A and B are shown apart, each in its own frame.
Chain A
Amino acid sequence: MLVSILHRATGTALATAGVLCFLWWLVALASGSEAYGIFHSWVIGGGAAHPLVNGLARLVGIGLTWVFFQHLCSGLRHLLLDTGAGYELKINKTGALMTLVASTVITVVIWLAILVGF
């Protein structure tokens, strides 16, 4: 129930916030080094932007990472359910919970790799 509605919520978030962030990155990249420098200093840091802005950007980045992998995992679950498998109550519930566990673990691993760099 929760995971099903989350699939729609995360999909909508990716289609709006995710797409707009992606477009900002691409348009800045295509506009030249100066425009990309603004994107870089806001999102990645090390530039003129306030550290608070970088902190917020990082939070958005972590949030979008989780939202993306949650949508990916529950999407995979839906593809499996489409085959007619996994409708037994217990299996269905376990599968739904697994998507939450997987998306959280993947998000933690990716951001540990980015921030700690292992």
Chain B
Amino acid sequence: MGTGTGIGRVRGLGSAKSGAHHWWHQRLTAGSNLLLMLWFVVSLLRLPSLDYIVVTQWLSSPLAALPLALLVISVFYHFRLGLQVFIEDYVHDEALKLASIVLLNFYVIGAGATALFCILKIALGGAAA
């Protein structure tokens, strides 16, 4: 932590001592989303079809299941942060804002757990029926 320059004093030393992590995590997950979503779009387009057997066989490979699980974590964390800012900026009633934030957290955890469970089930469930 710098002592001389203005930026050195500001870095991590604001009045609240923290707070930039939200902004930083949004950017961090933007980067991981970029890589993982490009992989996902290209992979889907390269599959010969989207038939059940084709997709389940593809997802039963760790080389597909693992990046897809990482994608879910990265994308869902990213949109949780994004929607939080959206709610904070546009919902002005305090009670409604709190309710919206609670709902957002339920939604992201519920949807994220569902997605991860499905990926694991397909990946670990053995060969396609």
A residues apposed to B, CB below 8 Å: 8, 11-12, 14-15, 19, 22-23, 26-27, 29-30, 32-33, 36-37, 40, 44, 68, 72, 75-76, 78-79, 82, 110, 113-114
Contacts and interface: CB of A to CB of B under 8 A. Distances in A.
B86 A29 contact: no
Contact of A44 (B45, B50, B117, B122): B50
A8 B27 contact: no
B11 interface: no
A8 B86 contact: yes
Nearest to B40: A22
Contacts of B118: 26-27, 29-30
B111 interface: yes
The interface residues of chain B, by DSSP majority, are classed as helix
Given A11-B79, A29-B122, A72-B37, A22 B30 contact: no
The interface residues of chain A, by DSSP majority, are classed as helix
Contacts, number: 65
A24 B113 CA distance: 14
Interface of B: 27, 30-31, 34, 37, 41, 45, 50-53, 55-56, 59, 76, 79, 82-83, 86, 111, 114-115, 117-119, 121-122, 125, 128-129
Given A14-B79, A23-B111, A114-B45, 9 more contacts: A8-B82, A15-B82, A19-B76, A27-B118, A30-B125, A32-B129, A36-B55, A40-B50, A78-B30
A41 B52 CA distance: 11
A78 B23 CA distance: 12
A15 B45 CA distance: 22
